[in-house]
A = this chain, B = another copy of it.
């Protein structure tokens, strides 16, 4: 069973995923791309992976080919669904048992196809799977936040090359998210406006960090980008929750994501990358904490963060939380604006 451990000095939680049992020699080999015949995410190998939780499939039985998108539990989950959330003190530390969920969204049956090459309809299906799984996991009152992310390429942490994303549901709201939600809430309480709506408005007027604007979305390089060529994709319409999007909005989002991934691929020559969905947390009432997120639909503005992983995170960044970015976002935006998309 995994554990969540609290560092009282650095003030962070860490998941100690003991079930994965990584010993020194496990770290020695750099993983090569999985050969096609043994890939557990390919058609015909459904029996090599856990039973599916959800799939988009025109016809046919579950756990067999003919699916378009398929969601399975991670075979080596960092958190497990069985049990109750319990925490206790241990010396100056805190420890919580590793309750949660860890799912894999297999985005395509095609082994070698990256998301930038998907059709808009294919990306739309992936987004529909995200929405279904987030809404379903929110019914579990133990789970406080759903982290939806993608690791593409070895430098971004992908261990299987077949295109997939992951959903980890965690029993507490992660620290980066807490800070973001608190800032958004304070801003709304002071000004009756969403801070992200203000940022989008400011950036559209400034122009120099805008990569692409379409009817419903805006893609920009953040003013204080930590990593070179970092991007954020915002819906122009204020909305706190990705999971509330209608099918036609998901299709527009898919179109904007494809444009974003194609620009990145062209300018950076198919880099490793991560994207992370930033959306509202689960909103179930909790004893003693029932009203903390009561204004979330006004405070927060969902968006997607995309980070190409072309520079390592070195000692300065690791030790201080202070990033050095050698490419000004204005220059990154100019390169990406000029790309084909």
Residues on A lying within 8 angstroms of B by beta carbon are: 5-18, 20-24, 27-28, 78, 90-93, 147, 149-151, 154-158, 166, 168, 170, 174-177, 179-180, 183-184, 195-196, 198-199, 202, 206, 222-226, 228-229, 267-269, 271, 274-276, 278, 305, 307, 309-329, 331, 335
Contact = CB atoms under 8 A, between A and B. Distances in A.
A195 B287 CA distance: 31
Contact of A16 (B10, B275, B328): B328
Contacts of A158: 314
Nearest to A9: B183
A80 to B, nearest CB: 14
A315 B275 contact: yes
A239 to B, nearest CB: 17
Nearest to A222: B7
25 contacts: A8-B183, A8-B195, A9-B196, A12-B224, A12-B321, A12-B323, A13-B224, A14-B324, A15-B323, A16-B328, A18-B328, A20-B326, A23-B335, A24-B268, A27-B271, A93-B223, A151-B314, A156-B314, A157-B311, A157-B314, A158-B314, A174-B320, A176-B320, A177-B320, A309-B312
Given A92-B195, A150-B315, 13 more contacts: A6-B224, A10-B176, A12-B224, A20-B326, A22-B228, A24-B268, A91-B199, A92-B198, A175-B321, A176-B321, A176-B322, A276-B315, A309-B312
Nearest to A8: B183
Is the contact region of chain A dominated by helix, strand, or loop, or is it mixed?
mixed
A187 to B, nearest CB: 8
A313 B317 CA distance: 12
